[in-house]
Chains A and B, each alone.
Chain A
Amino acid sequence: MEQKRILHPEKKYEKAPSEEMSISVELGGKRKLLTNDDRDVILNVAELFNQERQDSKNYKIYGKIKMVFRNMYSGTTFYDFLTSKLSLVGDGSDSEWTGYLPYNEFAFLRQDVLRETNPIVKISNLYDFTGFTTTITGTTGSTLHNTITPINAPYFNWNIYLSYVYAHDTNFPMMYTLSGSTPPLSFVSGDGIPFRVSYNGGTYKLTSPVEHGMNQGEYILLDGYPYYINYVGDEIYNSDKYVINIMRSQIPSSVTTFSNVIVTGKRCLDKDNITGTTSQYYVHKVKILRRVDDYILDKAGFETPIWKDEKKLLFENSEGTNDVIVERNRMESVLFDIKEPVILTGLTNNLGYLPTEVYVSIILRNGNGYFEYPPKVGYKFNFHNYWIDEYFSGSGSQESGLTGTQFTRNGNGQSFLFTSGNTVPIGSVLTGSFVEYVPTEMKERVISESLHKFYCDSHNFNYGQTGDTATFSGATVDNPFGYFYQPHYRIKLRELSPYVETTDVLNIENLPQNAKYFSNENLWKWRDLYEHGYIDDLGYGTDYPFMNNIHYVKTDINFYLKNEELYTNKADGLYSFNSITNNGQDKINC
């Protein structure tokens, strides 16, 4: 006989709220026999609303993006059109045309659009007024390099896409570089996390440039061999997240692993079950869900970020035009709105179940082509405070899911080659986060978000990106320094429980899609899918406004666009209070 166990509501998942299961019937009451086939239904609007809410698969994605950026590279160009637009370091009175790229080249909403304006009509008698003759303004837009109109301006520099993680890649090529003559270590994502090896006399210290996620008492798998982690951290604050220590006494004398300067390691929980308890490391593959024109970008009314705009009035620009206002920085706050709701059905994420999160992907479009395209993809450990990473040399690290179109323009008797980005069609695949998956916990941990790096072709705009500077070394023609940003921003639609549920009952109904059978333990394991409107005591859960059969998911994104040369918070996250380097200027720049 088939056995079924019916769970009470409070047993649906840990700490699930209880529900009324019985109806109190007063002793005194009117009673009427139901006639044959009549139905008696208790109406409960709150319950019905909750049912509709749980059943709805529609999610409206919208929110705000705030640009956090300071335009720090000043340089020169022979392209006279661009020279006339530069935000000059001086005021133009000395014929010195060194300057910063105008902020419009970085803006979400360009303001230098070609548009019609009304000339000021001077008229004595209004009965003579017959309307305006519109004119194309000569100061707010130009057709010389590219024509930017109010219609294409929000899509010209950056594009916003909706995406989700549909697969992962354990063979994504990676590299970790140290300064000086140490050869870089090339590895693939599945090899784990890079560590710098040092010997303290009795203990090998492994320092990771990213959070290693390991604990004392666990194991680290190096060259396939599990080493016991004796303790984590050193004398520096927060170092337990980056440093692990292995006693030399446990290392066989024949092992050469620790003679390397850099190694890669994986987290392992049980040395007797290496296969089942070793973390998997991979890179997310992100698939585009929507087209480029499926969103609206608009100004956020009345919001003024705390950082200042930087404008100046030039005496004259390189064209000899007097009293030109140039803009080096503008603090932008824009609203984005994905027009159509996401219908969360029919998708499968990299772990084989319906995604619980989607991504807002902000991708450089580079309409004017001043930057090399496509951007390169790296991770946090590919960016260093004082030197450039070999990983970015050449074109091998370019984002393969993005393509560009080349065009030329002439100026000063020379030809200049530019590459602007193409729109990314639905189904395109981009590179996402570097992730650790812990099989026993059935949980992913983001080691590093993917980062896009871009820079100018030095022929088009030269800010010294191909050589050493006073504070930054290693850049070459093949490996210039530039800007970097995080392209993919996670948006939680559903919440999986932070704990793992288990059962040894084989035939259990309504298991979540993420349930897996662990044959060595004879257990089903899964993470509960929290209902909408439920937030547990740890803060996990979702409670989005629900109406029109749509969940309204609002997301605010701080978009950090960083200068690779000057941003000095790229190191491991380890900051010794006493360690002052770089002539005492080891402060954080933007």
Chain B
Amino acid sequence: MKIVTQDTDLSLNLNIQNDFKLDLGREDNLKEFESETLRDIINPIENYETSRFIHKPYSGITINPNDLISDIWFEFYFYRTYTMYGQTFYTHIGGMDYELVGITKSQNMKMLKQSTQSFFRLEFFKVPSGQKPEKSNRRLVFSRDLSLPLGERVLGRIDNQVDAIEDWDYLYVPVFVGSNYRNKENMYLFWFQDDSSFEAEPILTGNTFYMTARFFNAGDGSIINFSNKDKSITDNISENDDIYFEVEIDRTDYSYQIFRYNGVRGDRIGKSGDPIRFYEIAGGA
């Protein structure tokens, strides 16, 4: 055996950790890209935090414009049928009476199941931007129940008004007040402060909602729809124009306002002295 020596290296020494910088940062870029892709497709962070929106305060309680209240008022009118001179009339006038939908004064006064489990449901819909609301394009996003005992009361006569002895007691009427001082549940709306999570579903973005109402009668199981204006029993109902009120939320001050709606936005409604009035739909097409 002969050992040959020579001056040239016969081996190449490599460190365990190498950084040849051959990829000019490509690996780092790929890592970053990988991280971004992962964040996009796997459990991306979505903000579903809901916020409370108050009925936008308004003045008028005193002459000082800085004295504000935020009470919101709802009135619901059922159809009343009466006969006079042999002729039958249908009207919403005098329609704020649960007896018109079969809930008797006794059930009302004694808070029986027919009374306590009946409720109005305010339904809030979103529609694609620029379109009028109708069943084909609306999407129910939330609702708010106004149960009968959350309403206002009057002192009503509950006897048959024939006997000499009068009998009076408190009766609920379909009038509801939402206030931040009392009956808070009638007033506040809850919605997403940040709607960027709904970019894939544009219908859910934006600040505009459309509100309508239905009455769920625990006495007979019936459901009554309402219109936003006093329509005759023979009038046709235009879904675009006659069903909804427009609701606008303001994410900067966490408030909302409700407007008349007749295909286009009208005046603000719901303030003291100008309640949101819903009228039973009993006929039409």
A128 lies within 8 A of B94 (CB) = yes
| Given contact pairs A114-B62, A147-B64, A127 touches B69 in the complex (Cβ within 8 A) | no
Closest beta carbon of chain B to A546's beta carbon, Å: 10
Q: Does B90 sit within 8 A of A, measured CB to CB?
A: no
* A150 in contact with B254 given A41-B38, A121-B155, A126-B96 (CB within 8 Å): no
Chain A 548-582 per-residue mask, 1 if CB under 8 angstroms from chain B, else 0: 11100000000000000000000000000000000
Residue-wise, chain A 222-238 has the 8 Å CB interface mask toward B (1 for contact) of 00000000000000000
**Which residues in window 15-63 of A have CB below 8 A to B?**
39, 41, 43, 45, 48-49, 52, 56, 60
Residues of A within 8 A of B42 (CB): 43, 45, 48
Chain B 155-184, CB-CB to A under 8 Å as 1, else 0, gives 111000100000010010101010111000
Bound state CA distance, A123 and B180, in angstroms? Answer: 28
A123 near B61 with CB under 8 A, answer no
Return the contact of B154 from the options A43, A114, A129, A548 (Cβ within 8 A): A129
Could you say which of A45, A116, A149, A296 contacts B272, with CB atoms under 8 Å apart? A116
Proximity bits, B47-74, A CB within 8 Å = 1, else 0 = 1110110000100011010011111000
Is A113 among interface residues, defined by CB-CB distance under 8 A? yes
The CA of A122 and the CA of B173, in the complex, are separated in Å by 12
Chain B residues with Cβ below 8 Å from A126 are 94, 96-97, 99, 154, 156, 171, 173
Query: Is B69 within 8 A of A123, CB to CB?
Result: no
B181 touches A115 (CB 8 A): yes
Say yes or no: is B219 at the interface (Cβ < 8 Å to chain A): no
Interchain CA distance A147-B39 in the complex, whole Å: 53
What is the CB-to-nearest-CB distance from B65 to chain A, in angstroms, rounded to a whole number? Answer: 12
C-alpha spacing A378/B53, complex, angstroms: 39
A45 proximity list for chain B (CB < 8 A): 42-43
Task: State whether A129 and B47 are in contact (beta carbons under 8 Å apart), knowing that A43-B38, A150-B179 are contacts in the complex.
Answer: no
Is A131 interfacial (CB-CB < 8 Å)?
A: yes
Residues 88-131 of B, flagged 1 when their CB comes within 8 A of A and 0 if not, give: 00000111110100000000000000000000000000000000
Q: CB within 8 A of A134: which of B43, B80, B155, B272?
A: B272
Q: Is B273 at the interface (CB under 8 A from chain A)?
A: yes
Find chain B residues with CB under 8 A from A48 CB.
Answer: 38-39, 42-43
Q: Please name the residue on chain A nearest to B69 by beta carbon.
A: A149
Q: Let me know if B49 and A150 touch, CB within 8 A.
A: no
Q: Which residue of B lies closest to A109 (CB)?
A: B181
0/1 interface trace, chain A 147-165, chain B, CB 8 Å (1 if under): 1011111000000000000
A140: nearest residue on chain B (CB-CB)?
B181
Rounded to whole Å, the gap between the CB of B87 and the closest CB of chain A is 17
Q: Which residues of B contact A153 (CB under 8 A)?
A: 181
Does A132 touch B at the CB level, under 8 Å? yes
Q: Is A118 engaged at the interface, CB distance under 8 Å to the other chain? A: yes
Q: Which residues of B contact A49 (CB under 8 A)?
A: 43
Main secondary structure of the interface of A (DSSP, over half): loop
B116 smallest CB distance to A (angstroms): 19
Closest CB-CB distance, A396 to chain B, in whole Å?
A: 35
Q: Mark B130-153, 1 if CB is under 8 A from A, else 0.
A: 000000000000000000000011
Select one of A60, A129, A150 contacting B94, CB under 8 A.
A129
For residue A46, give the distance in angstroms from its CB to the closest CB of chain B. 10
Instruction: Give, as a whole number of angstroms, the nearest-CB distance from B278 to chain A.
Output: 13
Chain A residue at minimum C-beta to C-beta distance from B75: A131
A278–B134 CA distance with the chains assembled, in angstroms: 76
Asked if A259 is an interface residue, CB under 8 A from chain B, the answer is no
A339 touches B254 (CB 8 A): yes
Min CB distance A437 to B, Å, is: 37
Query: Which residue in B48, B64, B179, B180 is a CB contact (below 8 Å) of A548?
Result: B48
Q: Answer whether residue A143 sits at the interface, using C-beta atoms and an 8 A cutoff.
A: yes
Q: Which residues of A contact B57 (CB under 8 A)?
A: 151
Q: Residue A136 at the B interface, CB < 8 A?
A: yes
* Distance in angstroms between the alpha carbons of A124 and B45 in the assembled complex: 60
- Residues in A with CB closer than 8 Å to B39 are 48
Contact (A147, B62) CB under 8 Å given A45-B42, A127-B94, A131-B96: yes
Nearest residue in A to B166 (C-beta to C-beta)? Answer: A124
Whole-angstrom distance between the Cβ of B13 and the nearest chain A Cβ: 14
Contact indicator A129/B46 (Cβ below 8 Å) = no
B24 within 8 A of A: no
In the bound assembly, the distance between CA atoms of A422 and B276 in angstroms comes to 37
In whole angstroms, what is the CA distance A119 to B97 when docked? Answer: 18
A120 contacts chain B at the CB level, 8 A cutoff: yes
Q: Does B263 contact A (CB under 8 A)?
A: no
Most buried by A among B45, B94, B99, B177: B45
Assembled-state Cα–Cα distance A60/B68 (Å): 28
User: Would you give the shortest CB distance from B130 to chain A, in whole angstroms?
Assistant: 30
Interface check B275, CB cutoff 8 A: yes
Contact A127 B97 (CB under 8 A): yes
List residues of chain A with CB within 8 A of the CB of B272. Answer: 116, 134
Contact between B254 and A123, CB atoms less than 8 A apart? no
A98-145 contacts to B, CB under 8 A, are: 113-116, 118, 120-132, 134, 136, 143
A-B contacts, 12 listed (Cβ < 8 Å):
A45-B42, A115-B69, A123-B155, A123-B156, A126-B99, A127-B82, A143-B67, A149-B61, A150-B179, A150-B181, A293-B253, A548-B46
Chain B interface (Cβ within 8 Å of chain A)? 30, 34, 38-39, 42-43, 45-49, 51-52, 57, 61-62, 64, 67-71, 75, 80, 82, 93-97, 99, 152-157, 161, 168, 171, 173, 175, 177, 179-181, 253-254, 272-273, 275
